[in-house]
Amino acid sequence: MLDFMKNYEKHTYALMRIMAGFLFLWHGTSKYLSYPRVSPAEGYVKILGGGIELIGGVLIMVGLFTSPVAFIASGHMAAAYWIAHGTNGFFPILNQGELAALYCFVFLYISSKGDGEWSIGGQLKRR
């Protein structure tokens, strides 16, 4: 009974990868395109960070070069946490860094797991 989702492990991982990439790409569109809102990011945060979020989010979502891209995104989120949030206190709930911390570890897991089901990379490997 406890492993009732075991048969759906590959599919739930794919859904997590797709949604994490989808949500991440909107941080990049916010920085580059000011859509859906204007982001206060400037300089290297806008150029480098926005690029990792936009391009990385798309690549993670579609499952192409997933492991290296997710590893870079994980490092980006670790740096974002310590630069923007970690200096404001230890606890993520108090320094408002829980989203950056969660993204960091979700992308670290995705980098270890790879493309998975429903991915372009997986389709290319099967051919």
Would you place residue 34 in the very low, low, confident or very high pLDDT band (cuts 50, 70, 90)?
confident
Tens-digit pLDDT profile for residues 92-102:
999 999 999 99
Query: What's 65-122 look like in SS3?
Result: CHHHHHHHHHHHHHHHHHHHHHHHCCCHHHHCCHHHHHHHHHHHHHHHHCCCCCCHHH
pLDDT at 1 over 70: no
Count CB atoms within 10 A of the CB of residue 116.
21
pLDDT at 20 over 80: yes
Who contacts 65 (Cβ-Cβ below 8 Å, separation ≥6)? 59, 121
Q: Is the dihedral of CA 20, 22, 27, 31 positive or negative?
A: positive
Give the pLDDT score at 4.
Answer: 87
Of the candidates 21, 53, 19, 22, which has an alpha carbon nearest to the alpha carbon of residue 39? Answer: 53
pLDDT at 115 over 90: yes
Summarize the confidence of residues 37-61 as an average pLDDT.
89
Domain ranges of the chain: 12-126
Identify the weakest region by mean pLDDT among 46-50, 53-57, 63-67, 115-119. Answer: 46-50
CA distances from 31 to 13, 34, 83 (A): 28, 6, 17
